[in-house]
Amino acid sequence: MLKSLEEIVEEVKKREKRTVSVAYGQDAHTLEAIEKGVKEGLFNAIVFANKSEVERVAHANNIDISLFEVVDVPEENEAIRQAVRAVRDKRADVLMKGLCHTANYMRGILNKEEGLLPPGAILSHATIIEISTYPKLLVVSDVAVIPQPDLKMKQAMINYDVAISHKLGIENPKVAVIAAVETVNPKMQATVDGALLSKMNERGQIKGCVVDGPLALDLAVSKEAAEIKKVRSEVAGNADILIFPNIETGNAFYKCTTKLGNSKIAGLVTGTTAPAVLTSRGDSEESKFYSLALGALVANK
C-alpha cells in the first residue's frame, strides 16, 4: 500500500512512461511541475499554450522547456480544445489544467462531441491528502465539482475513489460517509444517505470496499473517538476514503488540512475516460507535480 505522495512518485517511475497533455500551460508552477516530472522520468509532456509567453515565463524562472513539446496556441479555449483532443486521440494519457479558468477547462472536458466524459457518467473530483498526523493517505470527495451530491452521485463518488484506492494498493478500502452525527436523522439527509450507502455496500450494490455511515468526521479518523463513543465499525478510526455531504464541507476540510495543517495534496477529476488533473491556478508547484504523478499512476493499466 502506498502511504505517501512521494511513494506514488517512486511507483510511477517503475511503470511505463505516459504522456501529459497540458491545457494553457504558461504559468511558472505548471511549467515547473512538468519540468520536474519529465526530468524524473515520470512522463513526457505536450504543452498547448502561447509559446512566446511560455518562453518568457521559462526564462524568468530558469525552466528548461526543451524537455517537452510546446504547441503554439495563443487563445485559451483553443488551447484547451487541442489539449483535450490529444487525449481523445490517444496521443496523450493524462490531461492537465494550466493557467486556464476552471470553468473553461471543465467545459472542454464536458464537450459532448470532443470531451472526455462518457454518456451517462457523473463528473466528480478526488483529492488525495497526505496528513502528518494520519498514518496513511486519505482519498476525499468532493471538494471541487459537485455542489450538493445526491445518493446516486455519492455512489459514483465512492466507486471512483475505490478505483483510485485500488491503484494505491489498498485492496479493500474503508469508506466513511461523513455527516454531522453518527445516528440516522430523517431531517439530516446526509445521515440518511450514509445509512443507505452502507446498506447498499452490505448487499453488494457497491463493491470492492467497506462502507459505513453516517459517521461524524472524528469517528472516521480517530480510533480514540470511536472507542469513547462506543461505535463499533470496521471503518471508524481507520478510514481510507471520506465522502462529504456537500462541496462546502469537503472544500473546507481540504483547505483546513492544507492551509492550517500543512498537508500535501494531489487532485484529479473523476468519471472521465482519462485522468484529468484539476488544481487551482494558485496551487503550488508541489501540488501540481503530485497531481501529475497521481494521474500517471491512474493512467497505467
Range of the structural domain that residue 101 is part of: 5-120+272-299
The percentage of the chain sitting over the pLDDT mark of 90, rounded to a whole number, equals 96
- Per residue in 65-120, pLDDT (tens digit) is 999 999 999 999 999 999 999 999 999 999 999 999 999 999 999 999 999 999 99
CA 290 → CA 10, 170, 209, 245, distances in Å?
A: 11, 19, 25, 26
Q: Decide if 36 is inside a domain.
A: yes
Report pLDDT for 279: 80
Mean pLDDT over the full length of the chain: 96
Q: Is residue 219 part of a domain?
A: yes
- 18-75: pLDDT as tens digits: 999 999 999 999 999 999 999 999 999 999 999 999 999 999 999 999 999 999 999 9
- Distance CA(12)–CA(7), nearest Å, equals 9
* Residue 267 is assigned to a structural domain of this protein: no
Q: Is 186 found in the same domain as 135?
A: yes
Mean pLDDT within 128-155: 96
pLDDT in tens, 212-235: 999 999 999 999 999 999 998 999
Indicate left, alpha or beta for 143 from its phi (over 0: left) and psi (-120 to 50: alpha).
alpha
Question: Cβ distance 96 to 23 under 8 Å?
Answer: yes
Residue 178 placed within a domain:
yes
> Is residue 218 domain-resident?
yes
**Residue 265 resides in a domain:** no
- Is residue 250 a contact partner of residue 239, using CB atoms and an 8 Å limit? no
DSSP designation for 118: P
Asked if residue 130 is part of any domain, the answer here is: yes
The pLDDT assigned to 284 comes to 82
pTM assigned to the model: 0.95
Residue 45: per-residue pLDDT: 98
Task: State whether 80 and 205 are in the same domain.
Answer: no
The reported pLDDT for the residue numbered 220 is 97
Give the count of domains, the chain: 2
- CA-based R_g, the chain, Å: 19
Which residue(s) pair with 277 in the sheet? 96, 268
Q: How far is CA 132 from CA 1, 4, 26, 233, in A?
A: 17, 10, 32, 24
Using the CB atoms, write b or e for 114-142: b if 16+ within 10 Å. Answer: ebbbeeeebbbbbbbbbbeebebbbbbbb
In terms of Cα–Cα distance, which of 33, 29, 42, 39 is closest to 93? 42
CATH assignment of the domain containing 236: 3.40.718.10
Q: At what angle do helices 285-299 and 28-39 cross, to 10 degrees?
A: 50
